[in-house]
Amino acid sequence: MAARKKRGKVGGKGVVRSIERQANELSKEVERRLRSLRKELDKAESQAGSGAAKLLRQTRARLNKVKIKGDSDLQRFLRQRRRQLSKGLTEVAKSVQPRKKKASRKKTARRKKTARRKKA
């Protein structure tokens, strides 16, 4: 019979568990930090969009206050162009303005429709 050599326990499972535990802790820490960075980024985007929309609204208001002088054809032409510009500025302001988050509504239970009795 051949003599068997005794092997010492290598402890591979303990090392793997330790590495897994450290990886999980690191993952949680990274997620926590990323969450705060995402919040800051969302806030910055919202503020930038709000500022741009405000600037566009102010520009449109100033454009509408401009006095138009000249003969009737020129006045008509300038009014049309001003309306087009104003409309374009409004559309751009709406597209830049950050959307408000809508609160989710709970669905209410609907009553079943019952047949009404006819009065005799």
Domain count, the chain: 1
Burial status of residue 56 (CB atoms within 10 A of its CB: 0-12, 13-18, 19 or more)? buried
In this structure, is residue 87 part of a structural domain?
yes
Assigned domain for 115 exists: no
Contact assessment for residue 96 and residue 56, using Cβ atoms and an 8 Å cutoff: yes
Is 53 a member of any domain?
Answer: yes
Residue 106's pLDDT is 61
* Residue 91, domain extent: 18-96
**Is residue 108 in a domain?**
no
Q: Higher pLDDT residue, 110 or 84? A: 84
Q: For the whole prediction, is pTM greater than 0.85?
A: no
More confident residue, 92 or 109: 92
> Does residue 13 fall inside a structural domain?
no
* pLDDT tens by residue, 7-20: 555 556 788 888 98
55-102 pLDDT, tens digit each: 888 888 887 777 877 788 888 888 888 888 888 888 888 887 777 666
> Is 79 part of a structural domain of the chain?
yes
